[in-house]
Amino acid sequence: MSELQVSDLHIAYGKAEAVVGAALDAGQGEIVSIIGANGAGKSTLLGAIMGILPIRSGTIRFDGEDIARLDVEERLERGLCLVPEKRELFGELSVLQNLQLGGYSRRSSSKAAMKRSFDQAIDLFPRLGERLDQRADTLSGGERQMLALGRALMAAPRMLMLDEPSLGIAPIVNAQIFAAISKLGQSGVSVLLVEQNARAALRISQRGYVIEGGCIVLEGTAQSLASNDAVLRSYLGLSGSADASRDQQRERA
């Protein structure tokens, strides 16, 4: 059974529909990518699943339960966790304090369980362990993303939703971040991964969805998407520059 099942989801900002009848699902421990151009509706979709944005209609089931009317806290308690595009760290606090704050919403807050999550975060990102006393606002972009992910892990999530974790981060650090996401999937955490870096995302995903203008236009195994002509042209940059693929997007819109 799928852990997350979204069907016929409509989300609007005022009169403007940003997500139109989206349906998707993700199983336990599965890494599922959502790829699409800027403005396609990816962040809106994640925000609505987390409960930050209201939906107009549709259903969101998590572990069999309809969660569409629950507030953010209740969804956190059930194991959903969103790492937004703006990492939203507490800059004046240390790495350790940021990690500790990530644990406040968890169900099982025994010391031993907290320690396990902490160890998992440090194991995935040893760099954080070397910087526990450092203020978050002195970290590099890549380290900040590691901290945002580590903090999310402190909530012992069952499903992590990651909004463009590679945005603005050096390629060498991104490789570490994608490797860590891949490991998380293997450890049983489900991951919904929103990325403009489609190639890297599909490489670590089992399945994916392509979203255009708020509609899911394509879905399939990561392998089938990575070899799909339309995906290759629009998102994998094989027909020239990124500008060219953006122009194609605009023409279609």
Ligand X SMILES: Nc1ncnc2c1ncn2[C@@H]1O[C@H](COP(=O)(O)OP(=O)(O)O)[C@@H](O)[C@H]1O
Interaction partner, residue 41 (ligand X, Mg ion, none; CB < 5-8 Å by kind): ligand X
Shortest Å, Cβ 216 to ligand X: 12
Q: Are 94 and 132 in contact (CB under 8 A)?
A: yes
The reply to whether 82 sits near ligand X by the rule CB under 6 A is no
With CB under 6 A as the contact rule, the residue among 9, 36, 148, 169 that binds ligand X is 36
# residues contacting ligand X (CB under 6 A): 11
Which residues are CB-contacts of 11 (< 8 A; sequence separation ≥ 6)? 17, 18, 19, 41, 44, 45, 48, 53, 54, 55, 56, 214
Q: What six digits make up the tokens of 15?
A: 């009169």
Burial of 45 (0-12, 13-18, 19+ CB in 10 A): buried
Per CB under 5 A, the segment of 43-51, 60-68, 179-187, 238-246 that binds Mg ion is 43-51
The reply to whether 84 sits near ligand X by the rule CB under 6 A is no
The reply to whether 42 sits near ligand X by the rule CB under 6 A is yes
Interaction partner, residue 193 (ligand X, Mg ion, none; CB < 5-8 Å by kind): none
Q: Are 24 and 6 in contact (CB under 8 A)?
A: yes
CB nearer ligand X, residue 124 or residue 216: 216
With CB under 5 A as the contact rule, the residue among 5, 33, 43, 117 that binds Mg ion is 43
Applying CB under 6 A, the residues found at the interface with ligand X are: 13, 16, 18, 36, 38-44
Applying CB under 5 A, the residues found at the interface with Mg ion are: 42-43
